[in-house]
Structure 1
Amino acid sequence: MESGTIVFERTLSELEPLQSSSTLRYVLDDVKNGSKRYGVKITQSIRDCVYEARCGMLCTTKNQCYRLLRFLYENAVTPVHLEDIIQDICNQGLLEGLEQTNECE
């Protein structure tokens, strides 16, 4: 069972030999740990296997996290690429920009 809230779900088609059919889920990771920050989790189900990646405590509001999840969804980011994409976003200062351009909850 998913922890957090599934915000987006995408089904990828079988395109042999380039791509297996799979389902991607983009989840708002709001595990309660005493902080008021939100993270993201991506799961990918391929046949009987589930791959997962999580980056926690990225955003201070749910709205900011929803925007980040939408970016990941629209670009079909998979779990294997999540850490690198988040690292690039942070290195460019875009995460701070995301937080500054969103209204508070």
Structure 2
Amino acid sequence: MLAALLAVDFDGAAALRKQAAGARVVAGCACGCPSIEFEAGRGFGMNPKVNGFPYEGHTSLFLYTIVDADGGELLGGIEWAGIDEEPRELPPPETFAVEAA
């Protein structure tokens, strides 16, 4: 899903694509939804960069960055925002339309 979200062009996409090569998931959401947080996701702010909308259903997700102490943007995580039944893992990327936020 991360690769699909980063395939969209937006300001800073190239730098985030480089970060994605070493991205490591360190946390999931306590509620059981498929939201994930990357290792760098514990910085400041949540800046949505890319939105994903399913071809069917009433859910969405977004890729967000955080600002580190030096003011740079780092991959923060993928946030699930659904009102349908929540899956336990991120759905296949081909089931989503993706666009810059």
Given the two structures, how large is their TM-score scaled by the length of structure 2? 0.31
Which structure has more relative contact order (CA 8 Å, sep 6+)? It is 2
- The structure with the larger Rg is 1
